Every structure is written in structure tokens, then in C-alpha cells.
Structure 1
């Protein structure tokens, strides 16, 4: 089986990145361990000094930014790469080059995530949705929602673990605003598309309600257990509402199809050899109505409904017969 170009380059990039991390990782820890005296002197001073603890923030206000980053920001949870040390120490003499390199690295990360989502993530989700016979609305509020929100989940947990609750909440609200404005707008410009009115209004109403409820929970500066549980139950109610709406829509669609076929059979005045149900209609009938059983097949159920409609039509005078 041939491998596409983008998956090949993606795997190659992962391999190169792993090798770079393997080469730079020991150096990072050696550099962090090269300043134990500063850390010990700072701890001794902190035990005697009643001033508040100094945290890794507001680096620009200090005269020696590199020394401040080495002393207070080496253990800051910044992932595999310490960007503060890279900017303020490694390339402190040429900050313009540091900004260019970091910008290129940021574009590479965005492209990396985009290729992984388009070539691996979305096709797998589409296959799972087809195998489970899920509609687009069902797949969007379950698998796609979890897939798109999983990076936010891990980044929020990291921010909460670092004691940056406001950063976590701001990241979630900012990501939601970015997706609903920039992503939707750019996609509409690149490739115009149409959306169903009812599902779109449903999703917008639930999203607005979630934002308002989140605003209410953070107004007092804290989130209680009951409020957290309410947010989770709100999403569960949203998924249940989508499931029920999809089931109701499929059932109404099937009933309209049955009524239309019964009317066509009445017009032809043929109650013996009526048209059979299609395979997809039989499957839809068994999944949505639940009225078929071993003793009553979909054909028998449909035939009984047809005969009932034909009998009523024949019982009426010809002048009152309407289709």
C-alpha cells in the first residue's frame, strides 16, 4: 500500500524532533543543575525574609533578565523546551533572531497539528461514525467534540496544576471564541458551505447558554463542586437532546415516506401487489420505530397500513376522496 506524501513527511518530522529532544534533553538538565548555589541561597534568604515569594513572572521589569530566568524559571512547567531561557539567555543579544525562529517554530507546530488532524484523526473518526451508523450531528457532538477539545483538556489541567486558574479559563473562552469567529469565517471564505438551520440554531443556543453559565460561575472568583457538576451535566443534557432530536427526525422522515407510499398505492388502486419496502427503509424502520418483531415483518406492517388507508378511501364517497 502506497504511503502519501504528507504522512511520510509527518513521520519523518516526528523522528527528527525526537532525535533533537534526545540530544538537547541532557543539556537542559545539566544547565538547570549548574546553579544549585543560587537556589540554596534564595531558599535561605526566603526563610528569613518576610517578603512574598518571588515567582516566574514580569521578567521584563528585572535588570538582569537572564539571571532571573535561571534562578526562578528553570523549574517552570514549560514543556520540553524552555522558551524563556531560549529567548532571554541563549539569544539575548539578538532578540530579533529569536522572534523569527520562534515564529517559524510556531507555524511548524500549527502545520504539524493540521496534518495530523486531516490525514489521521478525521478519517478515523469518519470511519468510526460510519461503522456505528451515526449521523453528522451525532458524530460532531461526541467524537469530534472530544477530539477537538482534548488538547484544551490537557493544557487546562497543566495550567491548573501550575496554579494558573485564570489562564486556564481564559484559554478555554479564547479558544471557543477563536473557533467560532476566525475558523468559521476563514472556512466560509475558502470554501463556502451550507448548514441546516435547526441544528445550527440548536448548537448556538446551547453554546450561548454554556458561556453565560460559565460567566455566572466565575463571577465570585471560585468554582464549587456543584457548579462543576452542573457544567458536566449540561453537556450530557446537550448530547441527550441531540440524540433525541436525531431519533425524532428519522422517525418523522420514515412516517412521511410510509404515508407517501400508501397514498401512491391508493392512487393505483392496487392492494394486492403493493410496492415493497426498500432495504434502507427496513433498516431505518427497525432502528427508529422499534415496532417490528419476529411475528410482524416490515412488509406486513407496511401492508396493513396500506390496506387501512385503501379501505378508508373506498368507504368514502367519490366526491370526498382527496389525495
Structure 2
């Protein structure tokens, strides 16, 4: 049953979400944090719902937290091993997502400490996700607020500030075709 659900999600649901994101002209960050995250997490959602409401077990939290640990450690690790090159990440994306993930884990620990989740705790978790979507929507503005003059040694650009020679202004990552795509911004970040 879970295998069939994974096939439906991967073959039909996620491609449909990609088309929706294209038509809504969503940036990759916003699309990834909203529609694509929901699409790729649908099997875990249904496994948790079945575990909680049908078998009356506590598989729900274990499924979600275990999936998150796998996504953070194994998927990123495997991508790094098989990339065949140095994978450069921007500091802002890593900082933004790590800080919000830490906040979410702290909220989850506080809420499950008494081994009971009540409706308002669930509502707070959902509201936290909606706030994350807003953060992603205004990502560039927030990045400019939090970015101080910093030099990126990898390509010689500064993000949102003048270069050291004072002649060139680099508003986003450099449009250098030699920069790996995992690091290069596509318009908005």
C-alpha cells in the first residue's frame, strides 16, 4: 500500500505540483518550501495518519522525525558524495533554514514533552509552517536585511554590497557560467 502511494506521489502528484509552481511563477525557494515539500512528504503524512488514527500507535512522530533525519543526513550526504565536484552553498540559505529548523525542533520538543498534543499546539505548528512560507516569499528582502558586507572567496563577489575595488556592484551571486548550478542563483533566491 505504501509503495503504491509513493508511486502515485512521485509519478503524478509531484509533476503536477511542478506545473502549478511554474504557472504561479513561484521562485524555486517558495515552490520548494510549499508545494514541493508537501508533495514529497505526502507518503509520510499518510503513514502518520494511518499510524495515529487506525492503529492508534505512536508511529506518527517517529515517521516524521525519522524522515527528517534521513533527509538531512543521508540525502545531503549522498548528493555530496556523488556530485563529482565541490558543492558550494550560500551562507544565507543554510543559516535561514537551519535556524528555522532549530526553532521547529524546539517547539516540537516542548509540545511532546508531556506526551500529549492538544489542538492549539497543532495549530501553532501549522502557523509556524505558514510563517516559514512567508519568510520564503520575502527571502530576498530578508537576505538584504541580514547581509553585511562580506566577500565570497569562491568567486570574488560580495552579496548586496560593493566589491573591494569600489567599481562593481553585485546584487546577487555572480552570473559566472563556471559556478556550479547548486550554488548559482536563478534570478531570485
For the aligned pair, the TM-score class normalised by the smaller chain equals 0.5 to 0.7
Q: What's 2:71 paired with?
A: 179
Which of 109, 114, 118 is 1:224 aligned to? Answer: 118
Q: Gaps (5+ residues) in structure 2?
A: 145-159, 161-186
Deviation at 1:113, TM superposition (A): 4.2
Distance 1:218 1:145 in 2: 23
Greater per-residue helix proportion: 1
Is 1:209 the counterpart of 2:103 in the alignment?
Answer: yes
Cα separation, 2, equivalents of 1:122 and 1:194 = 27
**Per-residue deviation at 1:127?**
3.0
Shift of 1:120: 4.8
| Alignment gaps of 5+ in structure 1 | 1-78, 81-108, 251-255, 257-283, 285-323
In the alignment, which of 117, 134, 148 is matched to residue 40 of structure 2? 148
Deviation of 1:200 after TM superposition, in Å, equals 2.1
RCO higher in 1 or 2 (8 Å CA, sep ≥ 6)?
2
Q: Which has the larger radius of gyration?
A: 1
* Cα gap change, 1:147 to 1:122, in 2 (>3 Å): closer
**Residue 163 of structure 1 corresponds to which residue in structure 2?**
56
Encode CA deviations 1:59-94: one digit per residue, 9 max, x unaligned. Answer: xxxxxxxxxxxxxxxxxxxx59xxxxxxxxxxxxxx
Matched residue SS, 1:223 = coil
The answer as to 2:102 corresponding to 1:194 is: no
Distance 1:237 1:116, change over 3 A: closer
What TM-score, normalized to structure 1?
Answer: 0.40
- TM-score scaled by length of structure 2: 0.65
Query: What's the Cα RMSD here?
Result: 3.0
